[in-house]
Amino acid sequence: MSRAKYFTPSEVAVHNTSSDCWVSFLGNVYDLTPLCEEYSGNVLLKPIVAHAGKDISHWFDPRTKDIKTHIDPITTCVAPYTPMGRFVHIPPNCPRSDWSNNFGIPWWKNDSYNIGKLTEKTRKIRLINTLTLQEQTIEVCSEETMMEILNRYLLYNTHAASYTWKYNGNNLDMTKTLQQNGITDESETFYELNMDEDQFLPAIHLYFNDDLTEF
């Protein structure tokens, strides 16, 4: 099985329109753009679009992985709790002729919208190219391996795979995470000391080997 892709909250946040709609909840990231296209113009889409690019875990019961429920004060029946407004695939409180439940799986249970996982913790690192002396500070997911971080760095250097990555003079294992490579997360310590962690970001040095990306 392929490894899940991790996303930062910042990456989710830029997808915040009806034509490009991502949300995260309960640790996963969902691309709801197809859902928005299917229900374009439907008033029930408004709460979803209003929360595009955001985390909506508070809509769900973490135990059942379903929409939170409450006792409806009018019907005195158990009903979905949607203080943000009723949205797509949520039934009305009372029987209605315009309500159809033939949509199959509700979108929050449909894995076809799931595109990856939301990181539990982001980290910033400095990448220093010893050949060009260029330096980039990038935000990564703490769960990502060095190879996945390398793929992020391709935005700045398309030949990143032609470098040996080192930290404190030691070669990094590209199959392991920052923590597993001994690059510890000291953000809590800096917070306790009232220090700006951005001034003490770990520096990873890239040493050019051979341009294996040229054919």
Domain limits, CATH 3.10.120.10, in the chain? 6-118
The enclosing H or E element of 4 equals none
Its pTM stands at 0.89
To the question of domain 122-208 being in CATH 3.40.50.300, the answer is: no
What DSSP line would sit under 127-167, residue for residue? Answer: EEETTT--EEEEEEETT-BHHHHHHHHTTT-TTGGGEEEEE
Read off the pLDDT of residues 112-150 as tens digits, 9 standing for 90 and up.
999 999 999 999 999 999 999 999 999 999 999 999 999
Say which CATH class 6-118 falls into. alpha beta
Which pLDDT does position 189 carry in this prediction? 84
**What would the two tokens of residue 175 be?**
């199959």
**What would the two tokens of residue 118 be?**
């939301």
Give the three-class secondary structure for 117.
Answer: strand
Domain limits, CATH 3.10.20.90, in the chain? 122-208
In degrees, rounded to 5, the angle at the alpha carbon of residue 184 between the alpha carbons of residues 183 and 185 is 125
Read off the pLDDT of residues 43-54 as tens digits, 9 standing for 90 and up.
999 999 999 999
Mean pLDDT by 10 residues, the chain (215 residues): 89 98 98 97 96 98 96 89 95 81 92 97 96 95 97 95 95 97 89 82 92 48
